[in-house]
Each structure stands twice: as C-alpha cells, then as structure tokens.
A = this chain, B = another copy of it.
C-alpha cells in the first residue's frame, strides 16, 4: 500500500483528552478517531490489526471445535425479559424501539439469543455438545467511557457459547477453549496471565479471566513469582501456616486507650506490632450478624466470607447495629465476652499469643489476650485477602501483585439461562433436562489496545509481527531523487511479493517520515537513501532500534529473520 493512497493521519501533539498510553498512541499514530464518547472509527491501520487478531481468534476457535455464526445486534426485549436481564441489566443496556413501538436491546452479549436459537433447534443429546461463536460489534452504554478502546461503548467481541448434556463435556470444552485462549494471546505477543476469577452472582462455577499485565488495569492480580498461578486477589486462597511464638501466656488485662481507634493508633500507643492485634469486625451475612476476626496487618475478604457461608450478601454492619449488639463503637470491638453472635476467625488468629483487642467499651482495649483462653472462636477459616510475599497457593514460589486489563473470560454458566429460558434436551432415556452451558469472550478491539499499551516506547508503538498492520515500512528519503525513487518502486514490488508493505511515497521531509514510522510501529523499516545507486539500503529493527546497511539482494532474508524474532 502506498501511503499517499491511504489515510494515516498522524499527529505531532499529544491529544489532550487521551488518558492512557495506548489511547494517546493510537490517536497520534492515526489508528483511530473518536466519533462520540466511547465510540471510535478504526482507520485503515487499525482495521488491519483487527483483521489479524480476528484471524488468530478464528483459527484457534475452529481448532478448539467452535463453529462460527453471526447473530443480530438488535435483540427483542422479550428474550431479555425471559432471562430476567431486561430489568437487572440496568442503563448499560442500550434500548430502542422500532417504528411499530416494539422494544429492542442493542446486544452487549448474546446469551439470550443463542439460548433461544439452540432451544428451538436442538432437542436431543445426540446433537450435543455444540460450541458456537461469533465475532461481532457489541454495545454497552458505559457510564464513564475511558482509556480509548479499552472501555468503549461500541466494541468488537468474540463471544462463544457451548451447550452440553453433562458436566464432564462442559469441563472438556472449557479446557479446550482455555487452551485456545492461551494460544491466541500468546500469538498476539501479549504478556498475560490466566487468572482465577469470581463466578459471582451468575450461578456458575469455574471461571478464568485472561489479563494482560499493565499498570492501568483496574483489577489486581495475585500471581506466583515462580509458576503460572494467578488469581484475582479476592479469589486467591491463603495457604500460609502460622506458628505460635514460644512466649508464655500472660493474664488478660484491660488498659485505657483514649481516642485510639485504628489498629495503627492502638499498636503504636501500646508499642506492639500490628500482627499482635486482633482486628474485629461485625459483618452481616444474609442479614445475620457474625463477628469476624483477622490479624491487624491483614484485611478481611468478603468474597471468602460469602463463599464460606454460601451467602448471597455479605456486608459490614452499620455503626448503630454494632452499638446495639456489642455495646460500643466500631473502633472498640473485640471478641472477649461476646456470646450473642458467632465468631469466625482467620487461621492467623489462632497463633496469636498475648495479643491486643478492643474491649467492647469506649477508650479501652485488652492486652495479653489469648484465643481459646480469653474467648472462643466458632470456626477458624481462610477469610483474609492474600498479600504480596504470601506463599503461592499452588506451592510454587511466592505471591506478587500486578494490575491487569481483562481481554478474555471463560465461564461455566451451568443452567442459569437454559432453565430460565427452557432450553431442554431429551437425554438417552428420553428424559427432559436443561442444557449445561459455558460462555467464552474475547475483547477483540480491547486486545488491539492492550497490545499498544504493552508494546511501545517514547517514540511510538512497537507492534509484534503477528499483529502488525504491515510487516515492512519502506521509506524513500527523497522521492525527487531519480535513483531513490526508482529503487523504492522496485523494492515496493519485490518486497510486496512476500511481505505486507507500506510505502511512504509522500513528498515529506525525511524527519517527518522517520518520526511517523516510529510512531506507527511497523516491525521492520527499510530506508532508501543516498546509497540507493550502490544498491544499499538501511534496515531498522523497530523494537531494538538497531540499524544496519543491507545489500538489496540480501534484503528479503534480512526482513524474514527480523520478523521471526519480533
């Protein structure tokens, strides 16, 4: 492609309204333009990258046994009413009505449509399992669209849905798609982790998020410094073991701690470590009060509490409720003498010797508190957030934290939709059963942004070869120079036989061309300059910045080897 024939509107200035690196770079390098808040045009370079990501996704989904189809963006309200999401989805669901006043949603996802399709067409266990996917534009009316394509309102997704007659079949397809996703993100060149996630209110079981590591991520990942283990921090089990100090138990004693309320204030005032303090919090678990104890240097994890009690809601009790039940303010709560509520403690509490806790009395704490002696715990469990330095739950290495951008999600839906929408099949015995479902998403346009976010330097984007908009950027330093112009045209032809090539044939200053080239970030740059008449060109590796002179007859091999290593 000659640059004079396409549209690559690079910008010198950093756009004022762009908030993160990828957003700034994609605007500056002429990949995208905003049409409205959270709504973008993919200009020719971005469209090429999207096409490459989509091809990789298709290849791996097909290998994993998926079959592509295409469902409509306009979805009838009736389907969403059947699943109950017409009400529950909230204002992120874009709604409209047609000229006959029938209501529609613009699909943010297609569980309802696919479930209704498969319910109508598949009646027997013989036609299961079935894995269907599509690559499609989705709509979600984000409250605060931001980060460019990372959180837009119109975006491209690959969404897949699988239907099964047994959990084993779901497990098998889930694993196959999990592997396909790993391959897809590896092929895109991304540094990612498959992260154990919370299946939340969806009623599902296993779920993993594929996270691209990045400081701008909104989720925190706990990952092993040694193995591939990774989980959302709420989900990571704590496997640390705690050993009591050899110190002799002393007698409990009430001390005045005037105006000292937080763990930090109390531990400083009493000159003890935070890990000697017992943090006591009154929670409401499905409406019932529970006193929760974690060590002063730990944080209580409400997701773990929720799972422990198999509860629907877990929340901190309000101040008034704490006063009513325990007779004191929130900062003075402790377990000693408490008998009217259940006491749940983290495993770390069991190892505390001569600890400190609130006395359920304003301005007083107990010191020399010993669990089992001074108070009884109903149940010890893992109820705290994992921390950096904790052992990795898989037994390999220690935990580190990172931020991540979610680019993929695999999820065992179970029968959430098939039951609500009556997607039943007849099993071998002729019995009617709800289909078991899985769903699997990849943010295609988000993946494009995540790649730009992860691969760049102060001059621009650095595309991995597999998803680069072109392989080679050919630059003629001076198009008015006869030798340069003719060698460039010649190379444009010959390189173009083998590689995807963008040829900067514009009448621009060399400085402008080089700056644009670095900004756009095509892996290999070939510059035709003064040595054109000697058949010598300059080859630059965008990633390393390394520049070498190459005889034109060796050019194709040089390009090939640079691409293989990028």
Contacts and interface: CB of A to CB of B under 8 A. Distances in A.
Interface of A: 1, 4-7, 9, 33, 35-36, 39-44, 46-48, 50, 65, 67-76, 91-92, 94-96, 98-99, 102, 104, 106, 113, 117-118, 120-122, 126-127, 130-132, 134, 137, 139, 141, 143, 153-154, 506-507
Contact of A70 (B42, B65, B122, B130): B42
Contact of A44 (B9, B67, B96): B67
Nearest to A136: B137
Nearest to A121: B9
Contacts of A70: 41-42, 46-47, 50
Nearest to A95: B96
A41 B113 contact: yes
Most buried by B among A7, A134, A154: A7
Contacts of A154: 72-74
A74 B153 contact: yes
Contact of A72 (B40, B43, B68, B98): B40
Given A7-B121, A69-B47, A154-B74, A141 B98 contact: yes
A89 B107 CA distance: 25
Contacts of A95: 96
A67 B6 contact: yes
Nearest to A75: B35
Can you list the 5 inter-chain pairs with the closest CB atoms, starting with the nearest?
Answer: A96-B96, A9-B121, A42-B70, A91-B99, A6-B67
6 contacts: A9-B121, A33-B120, A35-B72, A36-B104, A99-B143, A106-B106
A113 B34 CA distance: 11
Contacts of A118: 7
Contacts of A43: 69
A97 to B, nearest CB: 8
A515 to B, nearest CB: 18
A99 B41 contact: no
A496 to B, nearest CB: 12
A5 B65 contact: yes
A96 B127 CA distance: 39
Given A7-B132, A69-B44, A99-B141, A33 B74 contact: no
Nearest to A79: B35
Copy count, this protein chain: 2
Contact of A1 (B67, B98, B141): B67
Nearest to A137: B73
Contacts of A153: 74, 98
Nearest to A129: B5
B117 A33 contact: yes
Given A4-B127, A36-B104, 17 more contacts: A1-B67, A7-B67, A7-B122, A41-B70, A41-B113, A42-B70, A44-B67, A44-B68, A44-B132, A47-B68, A48-B68, A73-B139, A91-B99, A96-B106, A106-B106, A126-B506, A137-B137
A41 B118 CA distance: 12
Nearest to A1: B67
Nearest to A39: B72
Contacts of A121: 7, 9, 33
A39 B70 CA distance: 12
A9 B121 CA distance: 6
B36 A102 contact: yes
Contact of A76 (B36, B48, B72): B36
Contacts of A5: 65, 67, 130-131
A6 B68 CA distance: 9
A39 B117 CA distance: 13
Contacts of A75: 35
Contacts of A69: 7, 41-44, 46-47
Contact of A71 (B9, B41, B65): B41
A6 B113 CA distance: 17
A42 B48 CA distance: 24
Contacts of A39: 72, 74
Nearest to A130: B7
A98 B106 CA distance: 11
Given A35-B71, A69-B43, A98 B94 contact: yes
Given A6-B67, A7-B67, A67-B44, A507 B126 contact: yes
Contacts of A120: 33
